[in-house]
Structure 1
Amino acid sequence: MATEKYADEIRFCASCAKMCRHVCTSGTITKSESATPYGRCLLAYYIENGVLEPSEEILDIMYQCSTCGLCQANCLLDYDIPKVVETLRANLVEKGLVNEDAARLAENAEKEHNPYGEPHSERFSKLKAAKETNPEVIYFVGCTSAYRNPEIAEAVLNILDRANINYTILDDEWCCGSPILRTGYRKQARELMKHNQEMINGMNAKIVVTPCAGCYKTLKQDYPEQGFPLKAEVLHASEFIQRLIDKKKIKLDKKIKKIVTYHDPCHLGRHSEIYDAPRKLLEQIPGVELVEMEFNRENAHCCGSGGGMEATYPEIAEQAGRRRVEEAKETGAKIIVTCCPFCKKQLLKVSDNEIEVYDIAELLSQGLE
């Protein structure tokens, strides 16, 4: 089985003191021992050693996970349990055990090149973006910014235009593959990756910029791991915008007198260790007061929408999102700022209009005179 490479992790996790149980996004909501990192790893151990056969019940447990990585942040041995979960999901898919909601994401991506199943021809129909033939920068928009949160895409475009950046968007951008890969559909994810790699490398651009934490992690880490390395440097929009400020290409002059708190996206924070860049940007906006939630940086709670859980178990995802909104409100902040369209979409959905939710690109775009 493909999980053999994680045999040590599985064995030690099964006999550990299991402090991860107390922080698990889904485990603390469902109150199910099976839905904790320890429970999932124990099931993987039993399957690996022939004690259990894969089943529909095990399938359900494996998809009750946002792969947020909070378990790994609280693991004394720093084991990559999210990777174990992703691998076991892929094994289950290969055996024909299918979560219908996860399968639908893969089917949509095959047909329309996005997990939402929206027409590919309309991906950028509302965006007025540059399409240079020899760009220095490729702006990788991502599916959620394109189809669900176009205000984020427009904010990034405004910043790029104001800085006079020689950039382009891809005429035929496909899903980066993140939600498809996380849910176990590796073959389909690799097809998406191969297409995007050929498009990006064919342009010889120096930098790929994306506002999506999931796209960032996938382009930067998963593409080379899966055999599709990119020639260009991959930067999250927060990193790239800070470079523009440092080079004095843009200036945050407009005062925004607001108390804000920052939500660390799992893919940008724990998975990519980018914590300071977004906070530094917020602190440079005149008038903005940044206050931290109790659980922040590597200990930040997940919004619930990652790892396909928003599609497979939306009720668990929503409870996770509501918990995060309550933590934000406790700070006295009027705005939650995040660096991921997926996080914004989820937090906005459960906020009940009691607190505003912005992507950092939106706030920075507003801060430009």
Structure 2
Amino acid sequence: MALEDYRAMMERCSNCSGCKWIPFDKIKSQRFSENCPSISYYNFNTHSARGRFQLAQTLLDGDCEFSPDVVEAIHNCTACGSCDSTCKITRYNLEPLDHNLALKAKAVEEGYALPEQKPIMDSLQQEKTMLPGELRSNRLHWASGIDVKDLMKEKGEVAFYPGCKYSYNEKLKPVAANALKLLINAGADVGIFGSADMCCAGRALQMGFENDYEQQAKANMEVFTKSGVSVIVTPCSDCYHAFKRQYAKLGLDIKVMHLVEYLDELIQDEKLVMKNRVPMTVTYHDPCHLGRLGEAYVPWEGKEKKILNQVHTWEPRRPRYNGADGIYDAPRRILQSIPGVELVEMERIREYTWCCGAGGGCSQTNPEFASWTANERITEANATGAEAMVTACPWCEESFMNAKDEDGNTIQVVHLIDLVLQAI
């Protein structure tokens, strides 16, 4: 939808400020009650979902222009969807996240992208990754030495799709390699896309570059279809969201699973047995794109109507993405199946989790804001008394590796698969 199509939502937002806080019945302390990194960091209403509704309306009405401050407010949204989940606690007829993305797209369309975004998008066009400086010729180095099918040459049921971070980041490459080995050893008919492996481009959509995203998405979908795979498994939550929700809108009809879902099934089927004790107290961070943004896309066509000329509704009933059906239980079941691991929860979890700060391209375009956001989560994690923070997303993992809490303390950050490897 174009930005103009959201005008009714701009006008009907009631300024309740629900987009700024986790639901009141979920609040355990004032310290960890906020939900939107942007409004929390900038402390100015325009940086909230409500403020961006107002901003978009004034832009459409010609009452303001794309000034530097306006452009900053538009792009400094991590696209984490937290405002979307909390808005839908009290409202059913607003889509803050989709609107924010449309606002970004409008800015890009009008020529108001951030200077820092240019090398990212150039890299996507030239090297098929949104990590500037990385070469496509090095993309498969993470899989060196692993005897695995090339799905462009051999048939296989499962495609393992590592994503850019796990393909290029030296600290994170072992996660992808170990995950693939684990699937092979568990008997999965798995392969990789070889030289056809490319960026999912989900972050291009998060930053407002709709055309670039769609071009790359369609290229990937051609690869997926040509391979003939039945399932795509990825350890990256950004890739998971892109395939599960966004590619589905373009017609992708292949089962998509995050690595934690696949591992959970292997454990339930006793193909993976946790026999070694791992004595550790951990807390789990729900990645935004695996949790509240991990709900499957539901096709819908309908129209808006009013009941008694007052109540907005849709006919037929429209799907409501409020984050409740994201991937939350699978990673927690895995942790609970590991002998010796004790899980202690943070205050903001599941669909009300606090973002790591990397989303929407912010870790690359505004590292100071992104770092502050990550530090806030480390403060919350350390408040639990846990020895380590476990997550299942490379962007989250990288963000937290260098983060410190408000007292300057760090926390050990581990991917869930690292604990699984210790336990089997």
Say whether the fold is shared (TM-score over 0.5). Answer: yes
Aligned to 1:4: 4
SS of the residue aligned with 2:91? coil
**CA shift for structure 1 position 198:** 0.9
**1:12-61, CA deviations, whole angstroms, 9 ceiling, x for partnerless residues?**
22x32222234321111121222111111110111223322333321110
Aligned to 1:124: 140
AA in 2 matched with 1:73: S
Aligned to 2:164: 143
**CA shift for structure 1 position 303:** 0.9
**CA shift for structure 1 position 309:** 1.0
AA in 1 matched with 2:259: A
Aligned to 2:299: none
**CA shift for structure 1 position 4:** 2.3
**CA shift for structure 1 position 158:** 2.5
How far, CA to CA, are the matches of 1:258 and 1:217 in structure 2?
30
**CA shift for structure 1 position 353:** 7.2
**CA shift for structure 1 position 252:** 1.5
CA contact (8 A) 2:397 2:413 kept: yes
| TM-score of the aligned structures, taking structure 2 as reference length | 0.83
> Are residues 1:18 and 2:17 paired?
yes
Match of 2:44 among 22, 29, 32: 32
Q: For structure 1, which segment, 18-27 or 305-314, has the greater mean C-alpha deviation from structure 2 after superposition?
A: 18-27
CA contact (8 A) 2:142 2:177 kept: no
Q: For structure 1, which segment, 35-44 or 244-253, has the greater mean C-alpha deviation from structure 2 after superposition?
A: 244-253
AA in 2 matched with 1:234: V
Q: For structure 1, which segment, 234-243 or 125-134, has the greater mean C-alpha deviation from structure 2 after superposition?
A: 125-134
Match of 1:198 among 222, 241, 248: 222
Aligned to 2:203: 179
**1:107-137, CA deviations, whole angstroms, 9 ceiling, x for partnerless residues?**
1111111111200010111313412411110
How far, CA to CA, are the matches of 2:129 and 2:156 in structure 1?
25
AA in 1 matched with 2:91: L
Aligned to 2:235: 211
How far, CA to CA, are the matches of 2:410 and 2:108 in structure 1?
40
SS of the residue aligned with 1:325? helix
How far, CA to CA, are the matches of 1:321 and 1:191 in structure 2?
31
Largest Rg, 1 or 2: 2
Q: For structure 1, which segment, 354-363 or 124-133, has the greater mean C-alpha deviation from structure 2 after superposition?
A: 124-133
SS of the residue aligned with 1:202? helix
**CA shift for structure 1 position 189:** 1.1
Q: For this pair of structures, how many residues does the alignment match?
A: 365
AA in 2 matched with 1:241: L
> Are residues 1:237 and 2:293 paired?
no
How far, CA to CA, are the matches of 1:107 and 1:261 in structure 2?
38
Match of 2:370 among 314, 317, 341: 317
Aligned to 2:79: 67
CA contact (8 A) 1:337 1:357 kept: yes
Match of 1:153 among 176, 179, 185: 176
| TM-score of the aligned structures, taking structure 1 as reference length | 0.95
> Are residues 1:165 and 2:179 paired?
no
**1:204-252, CA deviations, whole angstroms, 9 ceiling, x for partnerless residues?**
1111000111100101110122x2x333200011111111112222212
AA in 1 matched with 2:191: T
How far, CA to CA, are the matches of 1:355 and 1:16 in structure 2?
37
Q: For structure 1, which segment, 151-160 or 115-124, has the greater mean C-alpha deviation from structure 2 after superposition?
A: 151-160
AA in 1 matched with 2:273: K
AA in 1 matched with 2:3: T
Aligned to 2:304: none
Q: For structure 1, which segment, 3-12 or 336-345, has the greater mean C-alpha deviation from structure 2 after superposition?
A: 3-12
> Are residues 1:362 and 2:418 paired?
yes
Aligned to 1:249: 271
How far, CA to CA, are the matches of 2:379 and 2:164 in structure 1?
28
Aligned to 2:32: none
How far, CA to CA, are the matches of 1:31 and 1:157 in structure 2?
44
**1:324-369, CA deviations, whole angstroms, 9 ceiling, x for partnerless residues?**
011111111111011111000001121477321011122212222x
CA contact (8 A) 1:335 1:355 kept: yes
SS of the residue aligned with 1:350? coil
Match of 1:297 among 350, 357, 374: 350
Question: Percent identity at matched positions?
Answer: 33
CA contact (8 A) 1:212 1:340 kept: yes
> Are residues 1:284 and 2:296 paired?
no
**CA shift for structure 1 position 180:** 0.9
Return closer, same or farther for 1:144/1:353 CA change in 2, 3 Å cut-off.
Answer: farther
Q: For structure 1, which segment, 150-159 or 332-341, has the greater mean C-alpha deviation from structure 2 after superposition?
A: 150-159
Q: For structure 1, which segment, 112-121 or 26-35, has the greater mean C-alpha deviation from structure 2 after superposition?
A: 26-35
**CA shift for structure 1 position 291:** 0.5
Return closer, same or farther for 1:18/1:146 CA change in 2, 3 Å cut-off.
Answer: same
AA in 2 matched with 1:107: D
SS of the residue aligned with 2:142? coil
Aligned to 1:115: 130
